[in-house]
Amino acid sequence: MDLDLTGKHALVCGASQGIGRATADALAGLGATVTLLARDAKALDKVRAELPTEQGQKHAALVADFDHPAELAAMLAKSLPGLPPVNILINNSGGPPGGAAQAAALDDYRKAFERHLMCNQVLVQAVLPGMRKSGYGRIVNIISTSVKEPIKGLGVSNSIRGAVAAWAKTLSIELGPDGITVNNLLPGYTRTERLDELATAAQARDGTAPADFFARLEREIPARRLGDPDELAALAAFLAGERAAYVTAQSIAVDGGWIRSLY
């Protein structure tokens, strides 16, 4: 199957580590020019230096903090005109801290809403003109399996991820006539820095050792293992390509069978 992305420009958010970094590497490996976006300039420079360049790509990096949507919008307005039109947008950012929904402060919900939904909106509005002009657009949102089945102890995240899924579904209807696809990937328990943070939080909360935390998760997963970021990145790369032109408005789990529901 031809998955060539030569000539395409991808903007990958949260690209300094984990799923974002793996996705950037997968897209570059298929020939795309990649612009990395995250808050850590030093980490981004390291990732950019390690991306594949076999097709002569000149990758770039942009620095922004998703806790400040207005600053993100200003940075994009300044930086994107100097780059090729963005054909592929990978929306991805770190999840909110754990905790029960009933105990969360209003400010916790506000911060999560800004980081995930508002920044996604800022990014889409910034790249849509280029997608329409180039005649090619793929938007892939990295969300969570909580869209299908809430995860215990992640009250704020469960709430906001659902809002992002509804936003994406709405976008897919609006942008379908333009040939722009909008899909969500729902990673299950994947061995990333985010999962390490949850293990540390569990240890602080109830004394569970990280090894026991990971072992418990693996017992809950039919595949009996944690996911690898590269496995999710492979599907993101497919959705970014020509072959996925008729796949839109979907929320696809990459979770080793963790979600038990049919829909």
Q: Could you tell me the mean pLDDT of each successive run of 10 residues in the chain, 263 residues long?
A: 93 97 98 98 97 97 97 98 98 91 97 97 98 97 95 94 97 98 96 84 85 91 96 98 98 96 83
CA distance 45 to 61: 7
- Does residue 201 fall inside a structural domain? no
CA distance 59 to 40: 16
CA distances from residue 17 to 92, 136, 196 in whole angstroms, order as listed:
11, 27, 13
- Does residue 22 fall inside a structural domain? yes
pLDDT number for residue 197: 82
- Does residue 1 fall inside a structural domain? no
- Does residue 119 fall inside a structural domain? yes
Provide the residue range defining the domain that includes 101. 9-188+228-254
**Secondary structure of residue 33 in the 3-state scheme:** strand
pLDDT number for residue 202: 80
* Cross-strand bridge partners of residue 139: 89, 182
pLDDT number for residue 34: 98
- Does residue 262 fall inside a structural domain? no
pLDDT number for residue 246: 98
pTM of structure: 0.95
- Does residue 194 fall inside a structural domain? no
Letter string b/e over residues 82-103, b meaning 16 or more CB atoms within 10 A of that residue's CB: ebebbbbbbbbbbbbebbeeee
pLDDT number for residue 262: 84
pLDDT number for residue 207: 87
Residue 205: HSE in the Cβ half-sphere, 13 Å Cα cutoff: 13
In the chain, the amino acid numbered 200 is T
Report the CATH number that the domain containing residue 15 is assigned in CATH.
3.40.50.720
Number of domains the chain is built from: 1
CA distance 157 to 150: 9
- Does residue 118 fall inside a structural domain? yes
Residue 186: HSE in the Cβ half-sphere, 13 Å Cα cutoff: 24
- Does residue 2 fall inside a structural domain? no
Residues making up the chain, counted from first to last: 263
